[in-house]
Amino acid sequence: MFVPDHQGAVTCVSLCAKNGPPFTVTATSRLKAGSGVDGRLVGTVALSPGRLVVTYNRWPLYTYHDDIAPGMGSGQGIDVNGGYWYFMSPSGDPVVPAGDPSP
């Protein structure tokens, strides 16, 4: 998640999205929560006509361009493109390293 999004709006677009592209689906996609994920917290927010960004606890979700394989997490806790980037916990809260600003 990207702290400037403030639980609801996708703020990382154009140049910002080159580092952290939003996790998008089509308007006709059927989302299914995986193991350990609370399906009640999964949702979407509009990005453009026909494109939605997946949310978790209302936070838009992103991928990170350097993470190219499952289990990679090099985007955690970085401060780039105007804000901090954090993983989301299964409970729906950002995973904030000690000393980092809380969203």
Neighbour-count burial of 100, counting CB atoms closer than 10 A to its CB (0-12 exposed, 13-18 middle, 19+ buried)? middle
pLDDT per residue of the chain (103 residues) written in tens, 0 to 9: 999 988 888 998 888 888 889 999 998 999 999 899 999 999 999 988 888 999 999 999 998 888 888 888 888 888 888 889 999 999 999 999 888 877 7
Q: How far apart are CA 95 and CA 30, in angstroms?
A: 27
Paired sense of beta strands 94-95 and 87-88, if any:
antiparallel
Q: What's residue 102's pLDDT?
A: 76
Q: In this structure, are residues 98 and 45 in contact, taking their beta carbons and an 8 Å threshold?
A: no
Q: What's residue 56's pLDDT?
A: 95
CA angle 57, 40, 55 (to 5 degrees): 35
Q: What's residue 71's pLDDT?
A: 83
Q: What's residue 8's pLDDT?
A: 81
Neighbour-count burial of 22, counting CB atoms closer than 10 A to its CB (0-12 exposed, 13-18 middle, 19+ buried)? buried
- pTM across the whole model: 0.86
